Amino acid sequence: MKIDVLGVGFNNLTLEEAVQAGAGLVEAEGFHYTVTPNPEFLLTARKNDAFKQALLGADLVLPDGVGVLYSAKILGRPLKSRVPGIEFAQGLLAWMAGHGKRLFLLGAKPGVAELAAANLKSTYPGLITHDGYFQEDGPVVEEIRASAADVVFVCLGAPKQELWMVHNGPATGAHLMIGLGGSLDVFAGVVERAPKTFQKLGLEWLHRLIKEPKRFGRMAKLPLVLWYALGARIRRH
């Protein structure tokens, strides 16, 4: 049963439980997809119904953002833990390498997916990767199908990646797609994650803001999520 946080249902799982659930989806028949909403997703979903429906339709909805955890706590529906998309992906990759699964990397700038693939193969020797960057959907769908990928990391940014998975996922033959935003840049070594101290304190957003001050306008909206959660809590009583 999912926990509702401002209209989006989240799976209440630890990172380890999420990886196990993801592995189960890879082994299951048919197509499945995972989303990793942060507070910005919740704000966008309030105004974009197609995006909200894409989040609601996902098989796994993982809280990637400390603001989601705070909002859930304000609403009186605490989640077990934050599950960063990139850590979920890394856990799943380790499992995939041990089970001979195939991965397709979709997104990022030209050359980045290839670099990410090279780095992932060196870290997970048993992993089979295939990168992709595109202008039209049709040829990419065929390329994924031809690659016989079990899992696709879709790194197109929200809400594009979520809508892409919904519209194109079933035709690719993949068992699991995961919306992972800028994760390919991290796997490629183009962007560094925040230091462990920032990660443990849930302050990765602050580290990114320091590195990219132009994001301030977007970040300034994030306290709205907590305000909306507080308002929903008050209205309930």
Q: Is the pLDDT of residue 225 over 60?
A: yes
Residue 15: per-residue pLDDT: 98
The answer to the question of residue 22 being in a domain is no
Q: Which residues of 73-111 are buried (b: 16+ CB within 10 A; e: fewer)?
A: ebbeeebbbbbbbbbbbbbbbeebbeeebbbbbbbbeee
Residue 102: per-residue pLDDT: 95
Which has the closest alpha carbon to 137: 172, 113, 108?
A: 172
Residue 173: per-residue pLDDT: 98
pLDDT in tens, 153-184: 999 999 999 999 999 999 999 999 999 999 99
Tell me the residue range of the domain where 61 lies: 30-228
The answer to the question of residue 236 being in a domain is no
Residue 220: per-residue pLDDT: 57
* 46 phi/psi in degrees, rounded to 5: -65, -25
Instruction: Report the predicted TM-score, pTM, of the whole model to 2 decimal places.
Output: 0.90
pLDDT band per the 50, 70, 90 thresholds, residue 217: low
Q: Is the pLDDT of residue 237 over 90?
A: no
Domain count, the chain: 1
% of the chain with per-residue pLDDT over 70: 87
104: helix, coil or strand? Answer: strand
Residue 210: per-residue pLDDT: 58
pLDDT in tens, 15-37: 999 999 999 999 999 999 999 99
Q: Is the pLDDT of residue 43 over 70?
A: yes
The answer to the question of residue 222 being in a domain is yes
pLDDT in tens, 179-202: 999 999 999 998 776 567 755 656
Q: Is the peptide bond before 159 cis (omega within 30 degrees of 0)?
A: yes
Residue 58: per-residue pLDDT: 98
Q: What is the mean pLDDT of the chain?
A: 89
Between 109 and 197, the higher pLDDT residue: 109
The answer to the question of residue 25 being in a domain is no
The answer to the question of residue 21 being in a domain is no
The answer to the question of residue 216 being in a domain is yes
pLDDT in tens, 114-143: 999 999 999 998 888 887 667 789 999 999
Between CA 205 and CA 66 the distance in angstroms is 9
Between CA 17 and CA 23 the distance in angstroms is 10
The answer to the question of residue 235 being in a domain is no
Q: Is 214 exposed, middle or buried (0-12, 13-18, 19+ CB in 10 A)?
A: exposed
The answer to the question of residue 84 being in a domain is yes
Q: Is the pLDDT of residue 235 over 60?
A: yes
